[in-house]
Amino acid sequence: MKEKVEVLISEEEISKRILEIAGRINADYKGKDLILICVLKGGVMFMCDLAKRLDLNVRLDFMSVSSYGAETTSSGVVKIIKDLDDSIAGKDVLVVEDIIDSGNTLSYLLDILEKRGPKSIRLCTLLDKPSRREKDVNVDYVCFEIEDKFVVGYGLDYDQRYRNLPYIGVMELSDQIGEK
């Protein structure tokens, strides 16, 4: 099957926006320690670039979750594949995500993390698709709001590929390409 990727958000736009968001985070957490939690694998590029712009005492931790059921329609029941290495009890925590779509995965994940007694927990996402929201999640930092399109690149995959693209692109499959 033929696949085509068109640039939606360029490398330059991404780094410019990350600088702005990092500025807000630096101001909000001034003088504090912060634990960044990367939700693997999609959030990895974003977390690395964001972390480099933070002028705070930052610790990095990683979590890998999978939702039960079909991949495209997340059920919101989440299985932890890899848990955090360290406790978040009493800590300021920022969850770093690639994209919030239905919100199911994240609201479940936030419930799990809140039970561990962090001092504060906030959410930072590279992309937000608000039109697809099923669960209300409070997103504190959003880099880009996008329409309901399937995107790849900069951490986001199609069948585990395209994560290494330096930009965010819209994925088009061959049957759609032919109709244009």
Binding site for Mg ion (CB under 5 A): 39, 42, 97-98, 157
Residues 5-64 that bind ligand 5GP (CB under 6 A): 42
Residues 147-176 that bind ligand 5GP (CB under 6 A): 150-152, 156-158
Q: Name residues whose C-beta falls within 8 Å of residue 2's C-beta, 6 or more positions apart in sequence.
A: 173, 174, 177
Tokens at residue 126, please? 């590279």
Q: Nearest distance from residue 51's CB to Mg ion, in Å?
A: 17
| Alpha-helical runs (H) found in 32-153 | 44-52, 104-114
Is 38 or 106 the residue whose CB approaches ligand 5GP more closely? 106
Q: What angle do CA 6, 50, 18 make, to 5 degrees?
A: 55
Q: Does 99 bind ligand 5GP (CB under 6 A)?
A: yes
User: Across the strands, what pairs with 124?
Assistant: 96, 141
**Closest residue to Mg ion in the complex (CB):** 42
d(CA 141, CA 103): 15
Is 30 or 136 the residue whose CB approaches ligand 5GP more closely? 136
Tokens at residue 142, please? 């959003």
Q: Does 74 bind ligand 5GP (CB under 6 A)?
A: yes
> Does 101 participate in catalysis according to the annotation?
yes
Q: Say if CB 60 and CB 38 are below 8 A apart.
A: yes
Query: Which of the listed partners (ligand 5GP, Mg ion, none) does 151 bind, with a CB threshold of 5 to 8 Å by partner kind?
Result: ligand 5GP
Query: Could you give the residue numbers annotated as active site?
Result: 101
Binding residues for ligand 5GP (CB under 6 A): 42, 74, 98-106, 150-152, 156-158
